[in-house]
Amino acid sequence: MLVATLLCTAGSGSFDTPVSPLGASLAASVLPAPEHVSTSTDRFPLTAATRISAPAGATAVGEYLAAAIRRATGLPVRTGERGSIALTLDGKASLGPEGYHLAITTAGVRIDAHDPAGLFHGVQTLRQVIPERSGAVTLPGGTVTDTPRFAWRGASLDVARHFFSVAEVERYIDALALYKINTLHLHLTDDQGWRIEIRSRPRLTQIGAATEIGGGHGGFYTQDEYRALVKYAQDRFITVVPEIELPGHTNAALASYAELNCDGKARRPYLSSGVGFSSVCPGRQATEYFIADVFAEVAALTPGPFVHIGGDEVKSLTPREYASVVESAQRAVQAQHKTAIGWQEITAAALDPGTVVQYWQRNDPPGPLVAAAGKAKFVLSPADKTYLDMKYNPQTELGLSWAGFVEVRDAYDWDPATLLPGVGEARVLGVEAPIWTETLENASDVLFMAFPRLPAIAELGWSPRSSHDWDSFRRRLAIQAPHWDAMHLSYYRSPQIPWPR
Ligand code: TNX
């Protein structure tokens, strides 16, 4: 039944349909673009009486959806038995761990998945067709069958250059969940600050956490706070990958423990943004113990399979010295039954077959790097496309520009399967959009740089290659804006996007 007072949908699923912030069709609304989508003339009325049922294994997903609907519409929608919105875990195994099937008909809404993560992603799709306006609303009919292209759809956040509170990181996690990002890589240590409590090395946070770029107070997560953050992400089906940078980007550790320096002298805190100068002393017993102890504690805080060992931009070691520290870090991670991932420079060390390489730097020809990587899998973060700390254009106040200006189309228009010669689809674990925070001080700065480029990287990670279409993408991106406005997410109003108003 149709609720009479409502603006209705724009009709068929064609991307040529003029998009309106209220009531666009399923095909015209969903971002990342789904694998299969069909639209129908059915309409589902969402009212104060609507109830959501969820299976025992995913009651929290039902509650999450109910809260999202209440936030968007003000309707007192709750979970209950035999809801007209039914979430089930009866989906086929072929949907995999993250896929879902969504059907919106006049009689009701159903989301079927094989695993709770799939239900959660289906819920994000449904949220995108719920208009941001108070009172009863009508949802456009149709079906979606959807599975991701890549397993690793990441965002990373540098909490070392500037510190971000647990609440700020949670706000970013909420934004990531909207676009089916499933990995949050936290850059926890760098020259300017050490941000995670390590109980066997208390000075790391007593001394190393007290600074940040520009002279602010810094900060760190206690292990309990960090555990809560990991849980908050996990509840949104996002896996946290902690990064402990080695051998370089370590001044905060070198300032905290004199024994990590070859000359045995503690370094002064570092508050600016140069790179490449710092390194732990290779081969020293103190360094080996440090690496083993730190990764043991970090791995114990990590339910996910990956721990990041850094490895980028070291200018103060010989190649042999560099490789020896990377290999120690890799061993320490493996000793904790985790898989190591590191920046592309780690291909200069002897890598174990499972170790993952994160590609970022476009200056060097990729051939030798790919050859050195052997059979390793890649996470792709090309700086000139995925670095969300790059300015959008010369006028952008925040951000850097060493990799160029990155407009929305630059972030979107590339294919992960052809970026690196010799690294095809099967060797790409996924994509990741990093945010480095030399110039970013709070959650609103981070969101402004992430939106609207983060959804572009999310779509490259999730959607089938065949759906890649800039014009479709920019129209679907445009109608995200009312959601961002309602959620108070700051974003850049790129002139490339046909924003609704
Ligand atoms: C390069 S990406 C870095 C970071 C900087 C970033 C700034 C990478 C592995 N290293 O240390 O923060 O550029 O854009």
pLDDT in tens, 18-72: 333 346 889 999 999 999 999 999 999 999 999 999 999 999 999 999 999 999 9
pLDDT digit string, tens, across residues 213-251: 999 999 999 999 999 999 999 999 999 999 999 999 999
Pocket test for ligand 1, best of 157, 313, 361, 439 (most atoms within 8 A of CB): 313
212 is catalytic: no
CB within 8 Å of 40: residues ≥ 6 apart: 105, 141, 142, 143
Provide the 10 A C-beta neighbour count for residue 233: 24
Pocket test for ligand 1, best of 275, 346, 361 (most atoms within 8 A of CB): 275
Distance from C-alpha of 321 to C-alpha of 27, rounded to nearest angstrom: 54
Q: Which string of b and e fits 131-160 if b means at least 16 CB within 10 Å?
A: bbbeebbbbbbbbbbbbbbbebbbbbbbbb
Distance from C-alpha of 430 to C-alpha of 151, rounded to nearest angstrom: 6
pTM above 0.75, yes or no: yes
Which of the residues in the chain have pLDDT under 70? 1-23
Distance 191 CA to ligand 1 centre (A): 12
Distance from C-alpha of 183 to C-alpha of 204, rounded to nearest angstrom: 26
Contacts by 328-335, CB closer than 8 A, 24 or more apart: 328/287, 328/288, 328/291, 329/244, 329/246, 329/291, 329/295, 330/355, 332/291, 332/292, 332/294, 332/295, 332/296, 333/295, 333/299, 333/307, 333/309, 335/292, 335/295, 335/296
State if residue 42 touches ligand 1 by the CB under 6 angstroms criterion.
Answer: no
Q: What is the pLDDT of residue 23?
A: 61
Amino acid identity, residue 211? T
State if residue 484 touches ligand 1 by the CB under 6 angstroms criterion.
Answer: no
Atom of ligand 1 nearest to the CA of 402: 14
State if residue 257 touches ligand 1 by the CB under 6 angstroms criterion.
Answer: no
Distance 305 CA to ligand 1 centre (A): 24
Q: What is the pLDDT of residue 148?
A: 98
* Atom 10 of ligand 1: nearest residue by CA position: 312
Distance 275 CA to ligand 1 centre (A): 8
Q: Give me the residue spans of the domains in the chain.
A: 25-146, 152-486
Q: What is the pLDDT of residue 364?
A: 76
Q: What is the pLDDT of residue 45?
A: 95
Task: Indicate if the alpha-carbon torsion angle 242, 248, 252, 258 is positive or negative.
Answer: positive
Distance 436 CA to ligand 1 centre (A): 6
The one catalytic residue in 259, 313, 321, 441 is: 313
CATH topology classification for 25-146: Chitobiase; domain 2 (3.30.379)
CATH topology classification for 152-486: TIM Barrel (3.20.20)
